[in-house]
Amino acid sequence: MSNALRIGVAGLGNVGAPVLQLLTRHGEMIATRCGRPFHVTAVSARDRRKDRGFDVASVRWYEDAAALATDPEVDVVVELIGGSDGIAKTVVERALTRGADVVTANKALIAHHGTALARLAEANGACLAYEAAVAGGIPAIKTLREGLAANRIERVHGILNGTCNFILSSMRDTGREFGEVLAEAQKLGYAEADPAFDVDGIDAAHKLAILAALAFGCEVDFGSVHVEGIRGISALDMQFAEELGYRIKLLGIAEATEAGIVQRVHPCMIATGTPLAHVDGVFNAVSATGDFVDRIVAEGRGAGGGPTASAVVADIMDLARGARLPVFGVPAERLARNVPQPMSAHVGAYYLRLMVVDRPGVIASIAAVLRDQEISVEALLQRGRAPGEAVPLVIATHEAREANVRSTLDEIAAQETTLEAPRVIRIESL
């Protein structure tokens, strides 16, 4: 048993406790599959008395997680505390500095400090594994870093936040508004009391920044991700999307262009016949397009204790097998410096929804603005008649430049017949 892998787990919450349970329940099978025994030798959490389905009395207990990270009798430090800075960052840095391997589910930490941590790991001969940081139980990291390693990746995109996907799916199915469905998601435990991290797109942006670094061999660049959330989506938008043959999803999209890497998170309309249009509820999906493999799609539960614990333990098993890969697929010193592309340069189709006064000449004045901005109309929908009152007017455009669309919306918003700020959703061809 001298070659047993010694594991220390920092954080025994919604993920940490299932990790211990999984290691206990499937311990014999895991040891057989990775060809090496393992032991959980140390843990750290706030409350020692809490029942986590694992006998913590049999291991060393640390009140201070940073002290666990420096324990010489821990080979692999599993960081499940969370947060981009503070104690989580300290734990990871201290473990890597002494040459211990680290497994983490901390998407924010990797998105903000991934490049620096990769350099620290390589400088000390340590590994940093983070499969659980993106898409829960979906092996998105392993797919990009290993399964598609021989491909030049052109694009990676996906549904990266289960809370938003649940809300949008429920809005579509029930016709209810965002606020009502959000309240339901909070009651069901799918959304936090403060849902901003999810519904404003930050969580998805963290994951996209990580996927982009892996896909394109570049430094993690969270600051260059264009981020929009789903608060502005209404039941009316859902109805019009269905009428036009689309569904609304919050997507993360990263693309390699001649000018640089584009990273964007925002609501999208996607055709109902595409695979991601049918990924509903709290499920996630990740799709990658490579020059030889074409397109692959993986779908599954993107969050929750069980799926995330599964990904954490998969990383532990890789380390037990001796798999030692660069953090982002290439040595840290060879990661490219990204040249971010502004969202204003984006070219694509758009859905525009206006609330205007129903009177003669309104459509003509809007058409004049579109003409002047060189925006071509693919479809126009006006529901009902209400002379002198507000009516929705929907325009689906052909491909146009984002800067022109924004100028168009500013001009339309300034017209006296426009009664509220125009809504815009990008139409994506996936």
Rounded to the nearest angstrom, the gap between the alpha carbon of residue 248 and the centroid of all alpha carbons in its chain is 16
> How far is residue 81's CA from residue 211's CA, in Å, rounded to a whole number?
21
The partner residues of 43 in beta bridges, in order of sequence, read 9, 61
How many CB atoms within 10 Å of residue 416? 8
DSSP code for 193: S
Question: Would strands 76-79 and 60-62 be described as parallel, antiparallel, or unpaired?
Answer: unpaired
> How far is residue 49's CA from residue 25's CA, in Å, rounded to a whole number?
21
| Cα distance from N-terminal residue to C-terminal residue, the chain | 51
Rounded alpha-carbon distances, angstroms, from residue 425 to 178, 254, 271, 409: 16, 17, 13, 12
Among residues 89, 107, 142, 207, which one is catalytic? 207
> How far is residue 246's CA from residue 427's CA, in Å, rounded to a whole number?
9
How many CB atoms within 10 Å of residue 126? 21
Helix H, strand E, coil C: the string for 269-316 is EEECCCHHHHCCCCEEEEEEEECCCEEEEEEEECCCHHHHHHHHHHHH
| Sequence letter at residue 328 | F
The residue behind tokens 């890597």 is: 96
> How far is residue 329's CA from residue 217's CA, in Å, rounded to a whole number?
7
Write out the DSSP string of 47-114.
-TTS--SS-GGGSEEESSHHHHHT-TT-SEEEE-S--SSHHHHHHHHHHHHTT-EEEE--HHHHHHHH
> How far is residue 105's CA from residue 302's CA, in Å, rounded to a whole number?
12
> How far is residue 118's CA from residue 126's CA, in Å, rounded to a whole number?
9
| Nearest CA-CA partner of 79 in 92, 96, 63, 64 | 92
Residue 50 known to be catalytic = no
Which residues are tagged catalytic?
207
